Amino acid sequence: MVELQFSGTSHGQGYSGKISGLPKGFAFSVEQINLQLARRKTGFGRSSRQTNADLVTFVGENNGVVVCDGNPVEFAVANKCVEQRQEIVALRSGHTDVVGKARFPHLTVRQIVEISSARNSIGYVVAGAICKQLLAKHGISTFHYVQKIGGIASRNRYVFGVSEEQPHFEILHCPCKYATGLMVEKIQQARQNGNSLGGVVVVGATGVPMGIGEIFPYNKRLDAQISAELLGIPSVKGISFGIGEKYASLDGLSACDTLEVQNGKIVYSSNKCGGIVGGISTGQDILCSLVVKPVPTVVGAPSINSQTFEQTTAHYERADTCVVPNVGVIGENILAIVLANQLTKQLTEQQN
């Protein structure tokens, strides 16, 4: 089982950690990992800090390749922006300022937000980018696309391997050129006002064969594993699979997916369920929609001063305006970890 351990803070020296459970003899490309780290930072709506590239280094790396020997793989990512920031007293209700202090009263608010920063997703992207390479050997790919930002929804259907080739896709990872233009305008307006925007991003996987997952216990079901991991991403406040809440308006007959026979096997020919039924993959694409809340660091939010208990406006510092596309990058890499673990588990069971 692939397990990740790492430590570091947002404005400290950087992050270091180790990844255990990778198959002996498996070789992975460091360049492919740095590509995913770059995708994590790019996208219209990010702050000026994101212009600094994150690059990972590995112990035992040779010409950009690491060959696993059965021992944990050690890595490090240095921070380009290292600084000591002031303590936060005008608390932000949407960040960990208040709840974190309640949980860890011995820490300052600044120490807490350094620990809870979304920059910690670097470790998950490193591990996920390795797992993406492992899954590729089995014909499985993970992906994401933006469905909605600031109430503006994509009008176009996403097609894996095709939508990404469109020139506009790189801007906000949205398959619709028209919607992308409107999203950009709305993000610009929010930035000028010191505000932020949320949205919906779809994270998925293609090439997953039927039969991956578990039925019992409930927390081991494939959709339960995916949900537990993806809901841990900062700013993610909801998840649904397939048609999601539309199920609530359908009757049982209308909600059923259709089956057909292909090459002597019964397969799913539709995908309302989002690629998972009863905790097990159907062979269709796994599709889960993540609701991403707006970044909570904004200008003019009401607050209380933690020292005087007086009403004030919340602390504001350099922040992203929109991170919906970047949550998608983090999500597709975390999804790769979940799928790689479940797949290798079942392959090992079959061999035994």
Q: 60-102 pLDDT, tens per residue?
A: 999 999 999 999 999 999 998 777 789 999 999 999 999 999 9
Look up tokens 């259709």; give the residue.
Answer: 258
d(CA 280, CA 330): 23
Q: Cβ distance 45 to 323 under 8 Å?
A: yes
d(CA 39, CA 143): 12
Within a 10 A sphere around the Cβ of 293, how many other Cβ atoms?
Answer: 18
The one-letter amino acid code at 328 reads G
d(CA 165, CA 163): 5
Q: Considering the entire predicted model, what is its pTM?
A: 0.96
Report the pLDDT value the prediction gives residue 25, as an integer from 0 to 100.
97
Task: Take residue 311 and report the two structure tokens written for it.
Answer: 């009403």
CA gyration radius, the chain: 21
Kindly state the helix (H) or strand (E) to which residue 349 belongs, with its residue range. Answer: helix 324-351
> E-assigned strands of the chain?
3-8, 14-20, 27-29, 56-58, 65-67, 73-78, 141-149, 152-153, 199-206, 236-241, 259-262, 265-268, 276-277, 280-281, 286-292, 302-304, 311-313
Q: Cβ distance 187 to 44 under 8 Å?
A: yes
CATH of domain 85-351: 3.60.150.10
- Would you list the domain boundaries of the chain? 85-351
- pLDDT tens string 101-159: 999 999 999 999 999 999 999 999 999 999 999 999 999 999 999 999 999 999 999 99
Cα–Cα distances in Å, from 67 out to 17, 22, 60? 17, 10, 8
Let me know how long the chain is: 352
Look up tokens 């809901």; give the residue.
Answer: 231
d(CA 19, CA 245): 36
**Parts of the chain with a pLDDT under 50:** none
d(CA 14, CA 8): 6
Cα–Cα distances in Å, from 38 out to 43, 54, 79, 306? 10, 7, 14, 37
Q: Cβ distance 341 to 1 under 8 Å?
A: yes
The one-letter amino acid code at 141 reads S
Q: Is 307 helix (H, G, I), strand (E, B) or coil?
A: coil
The backbone torsions φ and ψ at residue 30, rounded to the nearest 5 degrees and listed phi first, read -70, -35
d(CA 158, CA 178): 14
Is the omega angle on the peptide bond into residue 217 within 30 degrees of 0, that is, cis? Answer: yes
Q: Give CA 338 to chain center in angstroms.
A: 12
Report the pLDDT value the prediction gives residue 352, as an integer from 0 to 100.
79
